[in-house]
Amino acid sequence: MSEKHSPLDQFSINRIYEMKIGDIDVSLTNSSVMMIAVLVILNIFLIYSTRKKSVIPGRLQSLAEMSYEMIYNTTRDNLGKEGVRFFPLVYSLFMFILLCNMLGLVPYSFTVTSHIIVTFALAFGIFLLATVLGFILHGHKYLRLFLPKGVPIFLAPLLVPIEIVSYISRPISLAVRLAANMMAGHTMIKVFAGFVVALGIFGIAPFLFIVLLYILETLIAFLQAYVFAVLTCLYLSDSFHPEH
Amino acid sequence: MAKQKKINDLGDSLNNLSKKIDNIKAKKVSEEHNNKNKKFTGFAHAFKIVSELFANILVGGSIGWTLDYFFSTKPIFIILFLIIGFISGIYTSYKSSKKFAKF
């Protein structure tokens, strides 16, 4: 088999239009084209579907309203009334990741979220926001997050490093979960697609399996976007109430 | 006088009724909400716990490696922080699974 048919080939980044600012490579790649496409589709979808503002929503409008309501309720339940001002952030993140995952499932397209650097950039942004917000709201008392109330002081040397490591690991676990799920799913589909060709007439079995796998992948694409949004809410809620 | 009392009673019972309706409504909404959340959480929680376990060990290891690199005390800190990372991985996943299921 040639290199072009490797299951990991779908994740390679190619420069489409080369650009440079100084020594920094800012070329337009297939990844950035996908991201732009996602944003354009997202904007067109949301503006087009809500243009009528009818009381009885049509199909598109109810799709937009459903996504809005779902994320709004999640945000309100996790962050409370004062946290609803972060709803636009959570909603944009959710829709961006959801559409990246979904468009990645289209054959010949590219999955932006399968690259850990993309998901880590998103997760690290949330991490920075949560940390800065915590210090703005609570000042130095935010550090109580690392030593919960009612813990005996002799446990502090053990517990504080553990809590710090677990705090720092938040963006990494957020990023790794999304990227690994996307990458594993797409690699698996490609591997089984290779079996279809190799097995000839018996290729019908892996072919049926791919159909099932695609359903599962669609579910995972939605689920991971939702989990990302929920965990964003949870981490932000820690900066609102660090004591528990 | 009697008429006034009757009206007051009526108002009270109306208030009671509206309170009852509100209670039932609130209960229904929260039940619906719980059911909605349950649909996703099982699958999502498994992913969450696994990635937390992994990320904590990774972070512990990299903190240890960095400290070793700067103080050139290989392999003391990397061992120490790998252990701390492992403990905190177990601790975090225990905490997040405690929220999910009652042991």
Angle between helices A59-79 and A30-49 in degrees, nearest 10: 100
- Eight-state DSSP code of residue A110: -
Residue-wise pLDDT tens digits, B44-99: 778 888 888 999 999 999 999 999 999 988 889 999 999 999 999 998 888 888 77
Predicted ipTM?
A: 0.74
Q: Closest residue of B to A222, CA-based? A: B40
| pLDDT(A35) > 80 | yes
Give the B-side interface with A, CB within 8 Å: 33, 40, 43-44, 47-48, 50-52, 54-56, 58-60, 63, 81, 84-85, 87-89, 91-92
Q: Tokens at residue A75, please?
A: 């945000």
Q: What is the mean pLDDT of chain A?
A: 88
Does the beta-carbon distance from B59 to A169 stay under 8 Å?
yes
pLDDT number for residue B26: 73
Q: Give pLDDT, residue B7.
A: 72
For A230, other C-beta atoms within 10 Å of its C-beta total: 22
Count CB neighbours of A65 within 10 A. 13
Per-residue pLDDT tens for A176-204? 999 999 999 999 998 998 888 888 888 89
pTM of this prediction exceeds 0.95: no
Output the six-digit token pair for A45: 């979808």
Burial label, A1 (beta-carbon count in 10 A; 0-12, 13-18, 19+): exposed
* Strand partners of residue A15: A29
Q: How many domains does chain A have?
A: 1
Rounded to whole angstroms, the Cα distance separating A77 from A47 reads: 27
Q: Which of A162, A180, A227 sits opposite B48 (nearest CB)?
A: A227
Which residue range(s) make up the domain with A135?
3-240
| DSSP assignment letter at A71 | H
**Contact between B29 and B76 (Cβ < 8 Å):** no
